[in-house]
Amino acid sequence: MGNNDLIDTVKNKAQVWLTKSYDEETRAQVQTMLDNEDPTELIESFYKDLEFGTGGLRGIMGIGTNRMNKYTVGAATQGLSNYLKKEFEHLDQIKVVIGHDCRNNSRKFAEISADIFSANGIKVYLFDDLRPTPEVSYAIRELGCQSGIILTASHNPKEYNGYKAYWDDGAQMIAPHDKNTIAEVNKIRNASEIKFNGDKDLIKIIGKELDEQYIQDLTTISLSPEAIQRHHDMKIVYTPIHGTGVRLVPAALKAFGFTNIIHVPEQDVVRGDFPTVISPNPEEPAALALAVAKAKETDAELVLASDPDADRVGAAVKNEVGEWVLLNGNQTALLFVYYLITRWKQLRKIKGNEYIVKTIVSTETIRTIAEQNGVEMYDVYTGFKWIADIMKKNEGKKSFIGGGEESYGFLCEDFVRDKDAVSACAVLAEMAAWAKDQKLSLYQLLQQIYVQYGYSKEKGISVVKKGKSGAEEIEAMMKHFRENPLMEIAGSKVIQIHDYSSLKGYSFIDNETLSLDMPTTSNVLQYFTEDKTKVSIRPSGTEPKIKFYCEVHLPIKGLEDIPQAETKAKEKIEQIKESLGI
């Protein structure tokens, strides 16, 4: 499409937003865009419609079809309502749960959605205030709902908001329901088709009682209560980074038995502009800086953090010389998998039908731990909905131990079907208490895991490409890697390639084409080399980024080999970046 054609297209789309179906403020903003000689804002706001990705609907807040606003949220809710009424027409009453996080407009969007669902005859359970994403998943199952949504953009910058849609199993929607919902949304071409006038009799406010039930159920997953009793006063610093975790994470830690939770007062303030951080992402060291400073000040033993909707967990621990280091998502997942499998075995809970789940871009050391302990492991796509899909397929047949991904998400319980920082924080603290019984810190426990199962280092690299031009650049980069496959990475020969867009791979050792057993295609490319290096490349489903996941494995014999392995791994990752041209 040429530039003039593009401008004509977006102008035509914008003109629709000047009709009386849209409120006066919206019409004025659209007219300002149309009158501006510089069409950049108009193009960015209207060149496409927001679509469901790995995290649902997500975008920058503002006016336009490519923005999060009353009308895009309204269209999503009306489309979902239409689909629910088709899919569950046999039910006397369709029910949904609505939650929201701390972001600007999240409560407003939640109330608008409640009105639309109720105007369509659907009963709504609306949380009285902000709540963690995993509690919405929990509530769907507990209240016997057919669907649910939460208004959140997770860990994205403050300009963003989002809309995660769930099905009756408490998991984010996958095919066919996501595609069918989008088809219904796409049928709505004008705001006049959205039923904004709600039925208050069909909206029920929920809150404290469900919180208490959720936390009580979380305590049932505790595996080392005696260790907690012995170390209940261990100093734990926790920050919600201005988000929903402030309500439930301290309560969950207390319910598990911990009595010395240290807050970061500046970040307990619920604010959608996240005033103390540039990005409210526990993957970013800067987001945990205040918490680490508080830990130094109070001589704490563990730092825990959750993102704004409290589904991702971040942690910092002291190393062997007392310096605070941040655990990455792969390291945290390793600790969870090791601890859960070890304790399940010690408590004789392993019966032979247990399993764990990881994503394909997460560390292969998880596979090693599972295999050496006789636990089945599933590999799935990025996005916790795929972990939940395995849980659904195995329900009543196999026992779920845990599942996680490198992007700081983990789930330790089977009655929630999304990543859960509330339970993850509690179990990480329990793990620290259990390690203390063995005269180990969490950092030392991680080193022991490396000695037992092999040293690995992982590095995620994101290249940001914003807007329409950025999306085109990312598409061109993926095309280049497919058409010019790497034969060598950082001096090591590529022995296998997996292309999930075609569900085909190739083994250079056996000279044969491979079929990849996955439920659908995905825009992911993976390389495996002779020295066990793994490189994965994929566009982000929720942010304007192309992501590179580098994983290096090195042999070690003991703890004394780890520092040298760490140095070599860092050098190797720099070589990988050169091979990739990033």
**From CA 242, how far away is CA 439, in angstroms rounded?**
34
Q: From CA 136, how far away is CA 423, in angstroms rounded? A: 14
- Collapsing DSSP to helix, strand or coil, 24 comes out as helix
β-pairing verdict for 504-507 and 492-499: antiparallel
∠ CA 22-25-26, nearest 5°, is: 45
Residue with tokens 């190393």: 319
Q: What is the CA radius of gyration of the chain?
A: 24
Q: What is the largest CA-CA distance in the chain?
A: 72
Pairing of strands 147-151, 95-100: parallel
**Short-list 566, 526, 558, 547, CA closest to 464:** 547
Measure the CA angle with vertex 136, ends 132 and 142; round to 5°. 135
Residue 275 neighbours by CB under 8 Å, 6+ apart: 242, 266, 269
User: Which residues have CB under 8 Å from 504's CB, separation 6+?
Assistant: 513, 514, 515, 516
- Amino acid (one-letter) located at 442: L
Q: Of 81, 106, 113, 154, which one is the catalytic site residue? A: 154
Tokens encoding 347? 């408590």
21 classed as catalytic: no
Q: In sequence order, which ranges of 396-523 are alpha helices (DSSP H)?
A: 421-437, 442-453, 467-483
Residue in the structure block whose two tokens are 């247990």: 354
Q: How many CB atoms lie within 10 A of CB 436?
A: 17
> What is the SS3 string spanning 513-531?
EEECCCCCCCCCEEEEECC
Q: How far apart are the C-alpha atoms of 69 and 75, rounded to whole Å?
A: 10
8 Å CB contact between 458 and 359: no
Q: Residue 98: CB partners within 8 Å, gap ≥ 6?
A: 110, 113, 114, 117, 124, 125, 126, 127, 136, 148, 149, 150, 151
What b/e sequence results for 246-255 when a residue is b if at least 16 CB atoms lie within 10 Å of its CB, and e otherwise?
bbbbbbbbeb
Cα torsion angle, 296, 297, 301, 302, sign: negative
Active-site residue set: 154
